[in-house]
Amino acid sequence: MACVLCGDQIKTGSTMDDKRGRPAIFLDLNGTLIDDSNESITEPVTVKSFLPGVIYALKRLQNAGLLFIITNQSGVGLGLISKEDADRLVLGVNKVLESMEIKITEIFTCRHARRDLCECIKPKPYFLLKAQQKYGIDLSCSFVIGDHPHDIELACNAGCKGIYVLTGHGKKHRNEVKIPCLMFNDLQDAAEYICKTDNQQVSVERD
Ligand SMILES: [Mg+2]
Ligand SMILES: [Zn+2]
Ligand SMILES: [Zn+2]
């Protein structure tokens, strides 16, 4: 059997029946899910810490794929915040989301400063490749959503679709986004788009 597009032979049999990997949505934390102010880091995380519409958006998004949070907490590496503060923030976020019945499959945190030249800082795809292996994610049908050009570069480096949101630092860095990507006002609009596309794909497959 040949591909109708390129003419290449397609392997039949078991490969054809293999399930595609699962889609995932990789979310940035600061400026995308929660307010990006440094003062908020020592305060306990509550529902109010989340940007408007984020909880609703996540409830919708978890039907479209596994949710992950990928965050650079470079403040730790720079000595601006303690590791404990960064961990408390991340755990607090997860706890609130859990209480709202939103399941984050895993939160990946890089605590290094960029000058440390670590392997895990965004836009390096390290954590996404880890998620791919660990959870059988199909990166090509997955999304990265964030308010920083690094998040879009991350999507590009990992072969995902990038969505830039204009919350957090989004507006400020808008002109620095050099890679073509989708742009939305906030996570709620991004979720709307993803869920719509998702449904369309499903209906096409059913036809
Ligand atoms: Mg951010
Ligand atoms: Zn790192
Ligand atoms: Zn910024």
pLDDT tens by residue, the chain, 207 residues? 454 445 555 444 334 334 579 999 999 999 999 987 756 677 899 999 999 999 999 999 999 999 999 999 999 999 999 999 999 999 999 999 999 999 999 999 999 999 999 999 999 999 999 999 999 999 999 999 999 999 999 999 999 999 999 999 999 999 999 999 999 999 999 999 999 987 665 555 544
Dist CA 199 CA 74 (whole Å): 37
From the CA of 172, the nearest ligand is: 3
CA of 13 to the centre of ligand 3 (A): 49
Token look-up 């709620």 returns 188
Q: What is the pTM of this model?
A: 0.87
Q: What pLDDT does residue 197 have?
A: 82
Structure tokens at 59: 């409830």
CA of 121 to the centre of ligand 2 (A): 4
Please report which ligand is nearest the Cα atom of 147.
Answer: 1
pLDDT at 198: 75
Distance (angstroms) between ligand 2 centre and the Cα of 206 equals 42
| Ligand nearest to the CA of residue 36, numbered in listed order | 1
Any bridge partners for residue 167, and if so which? none
H helix runs in 21-71, sequence order:
54-61
* Tokens of residue 21, six digits: 């990997």
* CA–CA gap between residue 61 and residue 63 (Å, rounded): 5
pLDDT score for 37: 72
The DSSP element (H or E) to which 204 belongs, if any, is: helix 187-206
CA of 183 to the centre of ligand 2 (A): 27
| pLDDT reported for residue 9 | 52
The rounded distance, in Å, linking the Cα atoms of 72 and 74 is 5
Protein residues with C-beta less than 5 angstroms from the ion ligand 3: 169
- What is the CA(153)–ligand 3 centre distance, in A? 14
> How close is the Cα of 148 to the center of ligand 3, in Å?
6
Distance (angstroms) between ligand 1 centre and the Cα of 14 equals 42
Map out the domains of the chain with their CATH numbers.
Answer: 20-206 (3.40.50.1000)
Four-CA torsion 152, 153, 154, 159, nearest 10 degrees = 90
Question: How far away, in angstroms, is 74 Cα from ligand 2 center?
Answer: 8
Whole-number Å distance, alpha carbon 24 to ligand 3 midpoint, is 24
Please name which ligand lies nearest the alpha carbon of 30: 1
Q: Which ligand sits closest to the CA of 173?
A: 3
